[in-house]
Structure 1
Amino acid sequence: MIGNDIVLPAVQLPGVRLSESMLYAVLRGAAEVETGGEILRLESCTGIWVPAGDVVAVRPALGAVVLPIPVAGGGRALATRVAVPKHAHTSLLHAFANVLGHVDGATGPAQLELSGGGPERLAPPPAPASEALGVLAKLLTERPEMRLADAVAEAVPGWSVRTVQRRFLAETGWSVAAWVRRQRVRAAAKLLAEGRDLQWVAHTVGYSGVPAFSRAFSESTGLSPGQWRHSSAAATAGVVPAEIGLGHLWEAAERRTWTRVNGAHVAVWAALGSANLVVGGRNVHLSEGDAVVVPAGTPNEFRIPSGSMLLPLGFRSAHTGEIGAPLRPASIGSLGTAGLLEAVLASYTKVGVIDVDPDHGFQAALSGSVRAPTTNDDVLLGRVANLYAREPYLRMTGAAARLGVDERELGAAVQRRAGVQFSAWLRLLRMTRARNQLGDGETPSEISRGLGYAHLPAFSRAFRAVHGAAPAGLSVPNLKPTRAAWGREMRVPATAL
């Protein structure tokens, strides 16, 4: 638990306004979560669900593991404490792996839902920074039935309503109307929990009638006034915290990663169960706990049996040096091995762990595996993959000139190491980037222009040839909101795509 023996980090990420609902589940250790102006302390096997639109800051304690995943709220509109029992951890980790975007057919967020539990207390809206607007806010809180114009005249005489609205929004991030509505609903929620008459409550907090009050209350809380009163009474009687509905999300047949060519070296880990890798024409089997490094520029695909879990451990730019084709994976440990899940979180999020080296997992996979000796072909393949990751629009002539090699030499090296002609290899690398960009919310037109295609139909044909469907019809989920909630604007740096 968080107490005198656990020190939270002094340097912390600023709060993020969520554009989708998120669950922050504490799998190990403890964490502090700030949302709605309140600081909540969470212990192992607990979590908090935060609705879209709220600002949240997550601060794990040293040694803690916090899993951030998008989760539908089952109609909720308020931050909710959640029980996260150990038997749910594996399914949550599967959901986390899904959101990383490497599994073919990933459906994105909203597959898990919360159920049960009483309503959480409504958090107050943020207070204005200036003294003048603070006086106005206090007046509106104490007299929620008061008209705004009258409150302005009393609290800040000489100010216009429009000036107040503009400055209030700048200081709080909320419109005056939204701020007052939250305060009215907070006051009403307390009165309803006390069993007060509905019509009396509506008039007391400033509404002319029950219908208008009920609409405002439901929009703010996700519950009708009657449902709130009933849930509050049940919670007082000892209702358990909300639970996570897991369903049968991961009982289906085997899955696979989509075929790709990465612009960086990528370490991949069979965290649970097994997996089979096809890389550069070779087949490599991974048993549970095995990890392997896929060299930059090498076509690859993993097949994942039912119930198994494959996680990327991290990545390195090809500028760090060449890596030979994998021959035998490293045995680094399964999900319970200390430091490995932490390395995944450190590589792909900024909110799940603190003071963890994101290169730890990659180094473990690299040092423990057996790889083919590197050649000049490996050097050249890594260099050209890295170049195209940064400048995907280049033609082969331009790439060869930038690398200082003959076109024929470049094409032959790619053929020998990747097993395909240069044109097919380049198309696969570009379409790997294109699919990643779809997962960052970019449109096919934007991606097409960035990759150097003169016309969208030509890009669509190339995309279909690699991924089996047009970019507009593949249903790649937009994962950018999740990555932003993780403290990342992009999936990974461009050179690691």
Structure 2
Amino acid sequence: MTDPADGVAGASMDPVVTRRALLLWVHSGIATVDVDGSVHEVTERKALAVPAGLTVGVGTVRGTVAVPIWLDAGVPTVRMLTVADHQSTYLLYLFALNLGFLRSDDRHPSGRHRTAPSVVAWAEPPSSPASEELTRLTRAVEQSLDRPVRLDELARTHGMSVRTIQRRFVAETGAGYSRWLLQARLLESVRLLDQGRSIGWIASRVGFADATAYSRAFRRVFGQKPSELRAMRGAEQLDPTPSESESMPILDDLDCIAVPGTRTWSRVNGSHVAIWVVSGTAAVTIGHRTWSLNCGDAIVLPAGTPNLVCADPESLVLPLGFRPPVGPSMTVDMIAAHRFSADDFPVLLHGVVSVYTTLRPRIVLDSALFDLVASRTVEPSVPQALPTETGTRQSDVTAVLAELARSPRRQMSTQELGRRLSLPPKDVNATVRAATGLDFVVWRREARMTYAREVLIRGVPPATAAREAGYAHLSAFSRAFTKTYGMSPRRFMASAEVSESRSTPPVRPPRRP
């Protein structure tokens, strides 16, 4: 990989009607973008912003690295923009969120600022809870502001009493649940007002019966009507006819926007997945081991082994590709990190885009980048045997677990696993724990939830996902999913993350025969 351009082929994206605003950013090279029959040439360090609802097709020449990014922010017109070097990490952060690979504690990433004030100085955000349990609960609520969750429904879904939730909200946020929820809904409405949305549309989006009820609540809390706020802020809106030399659109002032800390969900993959630290630092936990990685480092997450990736603020991690496990098993003790040079950046980024988006070369080898990373990070050493009383090796355990992760519908009890590994039942959990860091039952649940999340992203109905994940009843599946991800399967499918992820290949591929 001495010459990055050697690995960067021309790519194309077939014409598609955009459901959200699109930012096509060219890191290097030249891209041609057809927007409703009007052709735009996007050169290095430029980006073309395209409003939702237009037909867009993209083509690039050899050596071009272009990144399609779907945006929540509104784009009034087709605009050409200049991207400075220091703004690149944030754009890649938005791209990573598109993939569904990372999650962030930031509810509205396109509005997170280092020093700039909140959208309206007097519209303070609701206080964040202190505990992880209540934080997960509030995130679930924030995902469905169009249908505000009643307190009794919240208690039933999360297995807590109404009194306990009320008490914890007051103790951790300083407000009861109803007051906290109203504050969250109205603050979201302020953000939508700044986007130019109609008051009736906003009222429906944040869960009010009509515009009158919304305006009444807004005035009671803030002392003025939504229309009065919009008129007051009218002079502060962007010039509707900006010049092509303007440095950044839509995302407020990108110089003031920070990349928050991010992490993946705790997951068990059915395929081996390679990941790459694009910038900053990250902690990667695989089974019982944790690696501290720096910019340029890549590592493989073995199939069948629990893993968690946590990137620090101003840092970013992207997936580089996958391969279903074949041949000898890959264990935690075989894994080592490899550091790529800055010269490798174009090839790696181009590979990520090619594997996980619809902007693809004519021939795409989904496993090509994975194979490159694996050849440099997986040490071909023989796994050490576990204590002799277990009567098996880690490689045998991980081989069976990887098989189960790929086929979660298959039922296997602790006793059956013991027979498969020639172990007495009393030694099974100790053996699985030594290989993965988890008891078998806990590992099995995480593997099923990882699979369920990926098939829901692909648009599979919850009833089918439940059956494919090995659950006999949809209700049991829904309870397990809600406990793991903080929202029901149906709400998860309705989230913005899933709606765009369906248009691109998932991070973990479908099961293959």
Superposition TM-score tier, normalisation by shorter sequence: 0.5 to 0.7
One-letter amino acid matched to 1:27? H
**1:362 paired residue number:** 370
Q: Secondary structure at the match of 1:344?
A: helix
How far apart are residue 423 of structure 1 and its match?
A: 2.1
Counterpart in the other structure of 1:35: 35
Distance 1:84 1:354 in 2: 28
- The answer to whether the 8 Å contact 1:17/1:56 transfers is yes
1:126-145 Cα distance to aligned partner (Å, 9 max, x none): xxxxxxxxxxxxxxxxxxxx
Change (3 A) 1:468 1:112: closer
Who is 1:102 aligned against? 101
Measure the CA separation in 1 of the matches of 2:399 and 2:60: 37
In the TM superposition, residue 74 of structure 1 has moved relative to its aligned partner by 3.1
Match of 2:286 in 1: 279
* Map of 1:348 onto structure 2: 356
Task: Give the partner amino acid of 2:395.
Answer: D
* 1:240-288 CA distance string (max 9 Å, x none): 4572332654354x33222110001111112212211221111222122
Displacement, 1:427?
0.7
User: Residues 269 and 344 (structure 1 numbering): CA distance in 2 closer, same or farther, change over 3 Å?
Assistant: same
* Residue 70 in structure 1 maps to residue 70 in structure 2: yes
C-alpha contact (below 8 Å) 1:345/1:353 kept by paired residues: no
| Superposition pairs of residues 370-389 of structure 1, within 5 angstroms | 371=379, 373-374=382-383, 377-379=394-396, 381-389=398-406
Q: 221, 233, 243: which one pairs with 2:248?
A: 243
State whether residues 30 and 43 of structure 1, in contact with CA within 8 Å, keep that contact through their aligned partners in structure 2.
yes
1:96 & 1:361 partners in 2: Cα distance?
18
**1:453 partner letter:** Y
Note if contact 1:66-1:352 (Cα within 8 Å) is conserved in structure 2: no
* Structure-1 separation of matches of 2:507 and 2:400: 21
Per-residue deviation at 1:309? 1.1
Residue 442 of structure 1: CA displacement? 5.1
Give the residue type in structure 2 aligned to 1:373.
Answer: V
Distance change >3 Å, CA 425–CA 492, structure 1 → 2: closer
User: Which residue number corresponds to residue 328 of structure 1?
Assistant: 336
Q: Give the structure 1 partner of residue 300 of structure 2.
A: 293
Q: Which residue of 1 aligns with 2:387?
A: none
5 Å-filtered alignment, 1:397-412, equals 411=428
- For residue 440 of structure 2, what is the amino acid of its counterpart? F
After superposition, give the CA deviation of every residue in 1:371-399 in whole Å (9 maximum; x if it has no partner).
Answer: 4634754255245424542x322211699
Distance 2:373 2:308 in 1: 18
Q: 1:40 to 1:301 in 2, by over 3 A?
A: same
After TM superposition, give the deviation of residue 103 of structure 1 in Å.
2.0
Counterpart of 1:218 in structure 2 is: none
Show CA shifts across 1:71-92 (max 9, x none): 245351x433333333321210
> d(CA) in 2 for partners of 1:367 and 1:462?
37
Give 1:16 deviation, angstroms.
1.9
Deviation, structure 1 residue 340: 1.7
CA 46–13 in structure 1, closer or farther in 2 if over 3 Å, else same: closer
Instruction: Give 2:412's aligned amino acid.
Output: M
Name the count of aligned residue pairs: 365
Match of 2:475 in 1: 457
> What per-residue deviation string (whole Å, max 9, x for no partner) do you get for residues 282-315 of structure 1?
1222122211111100011122222111111111
* SS of equivalent to 1:495: coil
Which structure has the larger Rg over C-alpha atoms?
1
SS at match of 1:350: coil
Q: State the partner residue of 1:136.
A: none
What residue in structure 2 maps to residue 395 of structure 1? 411
Query: In the alignment, which residue of structure 2 is the partner of 1:428?
Result: 446
1:417 offset after TM fit, Å?
1.7
CA contact 1:94–1:250 (8 Å) conserved in 2: no
Question: Could you say which residue in structure 2 is the equivalent of 1:310?
Answer: 317
In the alignment, the residues of structure 1 paired with residue 454 and residue 409 of structure 2 have an alpha-carbon distance, to the nearest angstrom, of 16
Q: Aligned-residue CA RMSD in angstroms?
A: 3.9
Structure 1 residue 429, shift from structure 2 partner: 0.5
Q: How far does residue 357 in structure 1 lie from its aligned partner after superposition?
A: 5.3
DSSP-derived class of the 1:385 partner:
helix
Q: Contact (CA 8 Å) 2:17, 2:56: kept in 1 or not?
A: yes
Instruction: Give yes or no for contact 2:97–2:103 (8 Å, CA) kept in 1.
Output: no
Look up the SS of the partner of 1:98 in the other structure: helix
Q: Does 1:19 align with 2:26?
A: no
Is the Cα contact below 8 Å between 1:386 and 1:495 reproduced in 2? Answer: no
In the alignment, what sits opposite 2:219? none
In structure 2, what residue type is equivalent to 1:396?
Answer: M
Cα 1:79–1:386, aligned 2, differ >3 Å: closer, same or farther?
A: farther
CA spacing shift, 1:370–1:265, aligned 2, 3 Å: closer
Residues 355 and 242 of structure 1: CA distance in aligned 2, closer, same or farther (over 3 Å):
farther
Change in Cα spacing, 1:351 to 1:319, as seen in structure 2 (3 Å) is same
Residue of structure 1 in register with 2:437 after alignment = 419
Equivalent residue letter for 1:422: F
Aligned 8 A contact 1:19 1:52 in 2 = yes
Q: Secondary structure at the match of 2:345?
A: coil
Q: Which consecutive unaligned segments of at least 5 residues does structure 2 have?
A: 1-7, 113-234, 385-392
Measured after TM superposition, the shift of residue 484 of structure 1 is 5.4
Q: 1:36 to 1:84 in 2, by over 3 A?
A: same
The whole-number CA distance in structure 1 between the counterparts of 2:72 and 2:319 is: 25
Check conservation: 1:66, 1:353, Cα contact below 8 A: no
Structure 1 unaligned blocks of 5 or more: 1-7, 114-226
- 1:50 aligns to what? 50
Tell me the distance in 1 between the aligned counterparts of 2:100 and 2:89: 18
Check 1:91–1:335 CA distance in 2 against 1; reply closer, same or farther (3 A cut). farther
TM-score (structure 2 length as normaliser)? 0.61
